[in-house]
Amino acid sequence: MFRLLGITFVLCLVGQPSFGDDSHKVLGTWKLVSYETEVQATGEKEPAMGQSPAGYVVFNAEGRVFLVLTGEKPAKTSQERAELFATLIAYTGTYRVEGDKWTTKVDVAWIPEWVGTEQIRSLTVDGDRLQVLSPWRVNPNWPDKGMTRSIVTFVRSN
């Protein structure tokens, strides 16, 4: 009996509970390949951040995600820098993955209204490819487009 209790105690100390957490499939660093915006009213898809956006998303084992995405245009004037801000997406927070849902509890963001919110995305991992789909919403970077969703594709970087 004591041996069984001892083994159970050791397993509790070293075991990793799963509780439906699928975070292991996204652990690591992912490089941005493409960022498309789909307009709900028309079905049109466009590269909202240009043909060659840059960025990474990092999911660490401690349950924190860091995401920075930028557009491709260099800025030379104050006006161009202001316009460039519309191609920035950056936030961090704690995350969890359950099935095909990625949820981030945001604690720092490029837009203050996201701080304290939970951002939920659908995701698909296919080998070294990660595709993320936002829900339909008015994107804070492109509110004039109405209801849109983002289709973001990454490749494993590490």
Average pLDDT of the residues of the chain: 86
What are the tens digits of pLDDT across the range 109-134? 999 999 999 999 999 999 999 999 99
Q: Could you tell me the pTM of the whole model?
A: 0.82
Residue 8 and residue 29: Cα distance in Å, rounded?
A: 35
What are the tens digits of pLDDT across the range 24-67? 999 999 999 999 999 999 999 999 888 889 999 999 999 999 99
Longest dimension (CA), the chain: 75
Residue 6 and residue 4: Cα distance in Å, rounded?
A: 5
* Tokens encoding 29: 């660093």
